[in-house]
Structure 1
Amino acid sequence: MGESAALESPIYAAPRTSARCELPAIKPDHWGSMKRYLASTSACLDRVWTREFAAVRVFYSPPRRRYIRHRTRDPQCGMMPAKGAAGTYCPLTSTYYILVPGDTIGPWGAAWAAQLIAHEYGHHVQYMTNILDYADFRSEGAAKRAIDLASRRLELQAECLSGVALRAARGELPPLTQFQDLYTGRLPAQWVRDHGRLSTQRHWFEQGWRSGRPAACDTWSGPEREVN
């Protein structure tokens, strides 16, 4: 739970990897096909991260997942996903929740769904490496500004780890340009404070994608200006 968990995590030594995964098409307005796509993407990321943890000889078990149309209650974390979010990870049950609005059910939603899963999966990676505990430790009793900074470092690292994982599985995924298109528009001020600006999120996602290695995702060592 100390600083070394985030700054010297053994996962940073993991190599670039790849996984060949067959992903089904998402049919317009067809919830069943969307669920199959979500499940297949998650299973693909299981393979990616299992290989990465095995390479550095660290114990690993994949997360649980729920794909839902309406918010639901987790037995430990309460209503999920968090209000206003499309995805949230609950470390107490090792489960991520993906809330799918109707307007994303179709081929046009493939990049959105894959990146959302990869981001929440990134939080599970942080949980398995005690980085999540370290972020909680940094936030305990801290001022709001310090809490927001720790949150941004955590969220932007998950964004970077999503880039690492999606690059490894990119053969069946949409092209990089479709993922880059997700970082357009504007975020509410609160989301910027604790998740970072969209341009910063894109920077860390692309850094993970280009490198393909978790070592590229150390958001904890750099100055605050790199995680704003």
Structure 2
Amino acid sequence: MLFALVTGLDAANASAPTAAPAADSPVPVTATPAAGAPATGTQAPPRGRAAATSNPLYRTSALPSVNCRAGGIRAGSAASYRIYVTKVVRCLNLGWKTQFRKTNMAFSQPRLRFSTVKVNTPCGRWPTSAGGMYCSSNRTIYIGISRAVLRNAHPATHAQFIAHEYGHHVQQLSGILTYYANSVWRARPAAKLAYSRRLELQADCLGSAFVRQISDTLPVDQAQWDAMVSWVAENGHKNWPKNDHGKGRSQAYWMERGFNAGSPSGCNTWTAPTGRLA
């Protein structure tokens, strides 16, 4: 996904967000294999609808509790932001590698690229409203660095954003993103939006499940988390007028599901009732 205006919580009042947690835009429709770290595992990911509705990841236990002391972010410092994001991605690599091992599906690390401008990618142009994105063609997470991003440097907010983008990589490795790409290829506009909401809300959930498992060491306390969820419920949809990411209340619901479960088991948006995906 992409992240629109990534800001954070007021350090002096962690219970009240001052701006949006990381948001994003739709994942470009691609399904080509790409590079990364050497793959592990022997079981191919499921194909077709089963990849989304009954994926082996849903039958796994909680993600491992990774020691993720990524440090802080100095407001206005691009260097400290790069260091922080890189450390969080390393934690994500460790956690999801272990989770994929439980399913015996292959795992490989995504690439990470920082940019101060909205570059063109193998998946197409970087959407205007987004501050970051995942491209499945080259399995790369693109992270934008701008003054708006660096102005509010609350670590927990950025961790949720990064974990969400990484959630799309998890969808790619597990066959879910391929199913999505094939499904929207000939779908009518309304159906495309519905598929997009299931994809994006699942990434919200997967990212939140990971954040739960690093909350003790990052750290993310309950007040911070509750403030983030409350802000998203009220504002999470405002960057996406086409409603391809779900209403704020839907985003908040799936964030809470993932955080409470700490596992992909709570993140099957593909069989959820439509009312939870509005």
Is TM more than 0.5 here?
yes
AA of the residue aligned to 2:215:
R
CA distance, structure 2, for counterparts of residue 29 and residue 131 of structure 1 = 37
Partner SS for 1:21: coil
How far apart are 1:102 and its partner, in Å?
Answer: 1.5
The alpha-carbon deviation at position 100 of structure 1 amounts to 3.0
Cα 1:190–1:102 change in 2 (3 A) is: closer
| Residue 179 of structure 1: how far off its partner (Å) | 3.1
- The corresponding residue for 1:86 is 131
Deviates most, 172-181 or 153-162: 172-181
Match of 2:267 in 1: 217
1:179 aligns with 2:228: yes
- Higher mean C-alpha deviation, range 29-38 or range 108-117: 108-117
* Greater fraction helix: 1
CA distance in 1 between partners of 2:124 and 2:109 (Å): 21
Shift of 1:4: 0.5
Q: Deviations over 1:41-83 (max 9, x none)?
A: 1111111101100122111001111122221232x22333x22
Question: Mind listing any 5+ residue stretches in structure 1 that lack a counterpart?
Answer: none
**1:172-211 mapped onto 2 (5 Å cutoff):** 172-175=218-221, 176-183=225-232, 184-185=234-235, 187-188=237-238, 190-191=240-241, 193-211=243-261
Aligned alpha-carbon RMSD (Å):
1.8
Partners of 2:237 and 2:246 within 8 A in 1 = no
TM-score, scaled to structure 2: 0.76
Structure 2, unaligned stretches of length 5 or more? 1-46
Following TM superposition, by how much is the alpha carbon of 1:98 offset from its aligned partner in structure 2, in angstroms? 1.4
Give % identity.
Answer: 31
Counterpart AA for 1:153: R
After TM superposition, list the pairs within 5 Å mapping 1:135-146 onto structure 2.
135-146=180-191
1:154-190, Cα deviation, whole Å (9 max, x unpaired): 0000000001111111121332235325414363484
Please tell me whether the aligned partners of residues 48 and 169 of structure 1 are also in contact (alpha carbons under 8 angstroms): no
**1:68 counterpart = 2:115:** yes
Equivalenced residue count is: 226
